[in-house]
Structure formats: structure tokens, C-alpha cells
Amino acid sequence: MASIGPTVLQLIPSATRVSARVHPLVIFNVCDCYVRRPDHAERVIGTLLGSILPDGTVDIRNCYAVPHNESLDQVALDIDYHHNMLSSHQKVNPKEAIVGWFSTGFEVTGSSALIHEFYSREASNPVHLTVDTEFKNGETTIKAFVAINLSLGDQHLAAQFQEVPLDLRMVEAEKVGFDVLKPTNVDKLPNDIEGMEALMGRLLALIDDVYKYVDDVVEDRVARDSKIGRFISDTIASLPKLSPHAFNKLVNDSLQDQLLLLYLSSITSTQLSVAEKLNTAAQIL
């Protein structure tokens, strides 16, 4: 009598290692969709758009919310709305394709597997992005996941979500806005002077770090790194050679130009307001 081999329970990982990077526009759009959600909705889900870079990194550049209803054992998505929004986005940017989906919340829920199964038919190995819009840890927590198939022999049983590396890619101007909106208590947005002061504070802190690193290398407290040394040398060489007097004149001229623009815009706003009130008074009379 032939013996029956043991049935093996195994995880089937993805063919390639996946990492993701997300642009701040996506985070702002997710937060905006969460604020505008229906009263009965506990969370918001939607589609992630972007592309796959040559190194396999998922570049997430845009997103849109998809109306849905979910219960304990089922999820209903508005698929027609999803396809119409996708068609509209691709008319503007044909290079953007579906790379995954997002949901608001701190963790992956039970119904996430059903939604991920739908997006697995829309894209190959989609990424699931979670954004904590309730600030449970005192700030926004952003995580990315991919699904790993759980099989029993040849039978597919379920999908297990595994966290993957996520890089929040932003330029300096976007980082200023993100740092302002990240805390839970924001009294007011900083003005130009306050923003400049915060930037100068961070710049001075970075310069102090460079000074400390160079001193540690000179005193043999830190191992030498030729790559970092060349980077510091190139950065210093890229700075323009200006005398303190010329530098102060350049800053003051730029500041005066900005103040002149503010003054002209203020005059224009006042003139429009006066014209509107005169027009209203003329119509009444």
C-alpha cells in the first residue's frame, strides 16, 4: 500500500524583494479624504497610483478614494467609480498605473484581505499603505505591506501581510509643510519669518553635526570615510565665494524685493475691496 506524503503548510514569498517610497501629496490626499468621509464611515480606502522603478521600488505618486461599504464578512466597492477615476487620472498622466491601495487606520484589519484580493486583479503584487489619521502614537504613522500567499499543499488558503521598507520622499519645501501638519496640536501655520527661522535652526544643527564629525575624524575617534569626506568637500566647493558685505547686500536686496511685492499685493487687495464696496453702494443708491 502506497504511503501518502505529509501535507506541507508553506508561505510563498514574492519573487522579488519589494520596497516602496511615497510622495507627501499622497499623504495629504489621504488625510483630506479622511476629513471629508461620510459620517457612517469608520475608515477610508482608495487606489494608489505610480510606477515601478527599474530597481523594483514601488514609487507612489498619487491616489484617490473609492467609496465602499464594509461589514464583518464582506466589502462592497464602487468598481465603476474606481474605473472612471482611473481613466480620468490616466488622461492627465498616462504613465501612472495602479500600484496598490491605501486605508486609514493603524493596523491591517480582517476585511483588508478581501480588498487586497480585488487589487491583486488590478495590479501585480500591489502594495497596501496604511496611514494613521487618528495620531494614536502622537503623530502620523505610515506603513506599507505586501501579501504573502499561505498555501496548504497545492491549495491556497489565505494571504499574510508583511511590512516592507517605506521611504517618505520629499523636497525641503514639502518637508516644512509636513513637519507643521504632523503634530496633533497645530495652533497656526508659521509665517515666512518663522519658517525661515526654523530652516536656519535646522541648517545650523546640520553644520554642527558636520563640525563634530570632522573633529572626531581628526582626533581618530571615528573611522575615516572617503565617500563622506568627498561629499563634504564638494558641498563646501559649491558655495559661492562672497565677502560678508556682498552676502549681506544680496540678502537685503532680496528681502527688499519680497517686501515690495507684499506691499503691492496689499495695495491691490485694498483697491479691489474698496471698488467692490463702491460698486455695492452704487447699486443700492
Query: 232 and 161 share a domain?
Result: no
User: Strands 75-77 and 68-70, how do they pair?
Assistant: antiparallel
Query: 26 and 98 share a domain?
Result: yes
Interval 89-148: pLDDT, tens: 889 888 889 999 999 887 787 788 888 888 888 888 899 999 888 766 666 688 888 888
Query: 27 and 158 share a domain?
Result: yes
- Highest averaged pLDDT of the listed ranges 19-28, 67-76, 145-154, 174-183: 19-28
263: cell is: 506691499
250 inside domain? no
Number of domains comprising the chain: 2
267 inside domain? no
Query: 36 and 162 share a domain?
Result: yes
134 inside domain? yes
For 53-92, b where at least 16 C-beta lie within 10 A, e where not — what string? Answer: eeeebbbbbbbbbbebebeeeebebeeeebeebbeebeee
pLDDT at 62 over 60: yes
Domain hosting residue 149, numbered range: 19-168
85 inside domain? yes
Query: 33 and 129 share a domain?
Result: yes
263 inside domain? no
Query: 203 and 97 share a domain?
Result: no
Query: 160 and 91 share a domain?
Result: yes
Interval 118-129: pLDDT, tens: 888 888 889 999
